[in-house]
Amino acid sequence: MATRVFGDPEPFIQRKAATGRLVIPTLIVTTVSVAMSLQAAAVFLTLGPAVSEVINAVILLGGYYFLEGFLLWLAFSFALYVLALVAGGHPLFGHITRIVGWGMAPLVGTGLVWTAGRYYALRDATPPELAINSRIEHETNGLAEFMSHAAGEPAFIAAMVVGGLFLVVSGYLWTLGLTKAGELSKARAAVVSAIPLLVFFGWRFLNSAV
């Protein structure tokens, strides 16, 4: 199946991904969520013994990262559907949802690369100093301050850029699917696909503490 998706993606995305069931796209998005949630594991490891002071915030962070894959699936699907309509296409939301789910497969690489970058950027950062059993607001603020140390770190910036390249692959797969499912030219489909990905990447790049 992977050979068909990446070896000859256009007919696969346009036929099976546009008309198939949601089982495999759901599994793909679940895998993306797991890969994204590994960033919380990286933060856990870099905190060392100090993790006990912000453990509740770290657990919440892991939950957020895990849900992120599913939230992105919904947000990307809605964005592509609306943008395809604005671009003059005639999409069906169900088709768009399947295309987005299949096309999110490269985001597994994004999550893994960003996890590595976050770990190397934070491995020497100073952990927050909070009392054990401190209020969740204090834990969250302390963890955010700790994670902000990644900003400007070469390892983190490099990981963000490399991880962004996987987003380009997703955009390419969506473009192929939208040309048929959205009845758009490839040029318009490419623009439609690029907009939500650029917004997501820009938001993540500018918010190192998330």
Asked whether 118 and 159 are in contact (CB, 8 A), the reply is: yes
**What pLDDT is stored for residue 188 in this prediction?**
94
pLDDT band at 5 (very low <50, low <70, confident <90, very high): low
Query: Is the torsion defined by CA of 36, 41, 47, 51 positive or negative?
Result: positive
Collect all residues with Cβ–Cβ distance below 8 Å to 90 and sequence separation of at least 6.
182, 183
CA 131 from centre of chain: 33
pLDDT of residue 35: 96
The model's confidence at residue 162, banded by pLDDT at 50, 70 and 90, is very high
Low-confidence winner among 42-56, 121-135, 149-163 (lowest mean pLDDT):
121-135
Read off the tokens for 60. Answer: 């919440």
Predicted confidence band of residue 169 (pLDDT cuts 50, 70, 90): very high
Q: How far apart are CA 191 and CA 121, in angstroms?
A: 33
**What pTM was estimated for this model as a whole?**
0.86
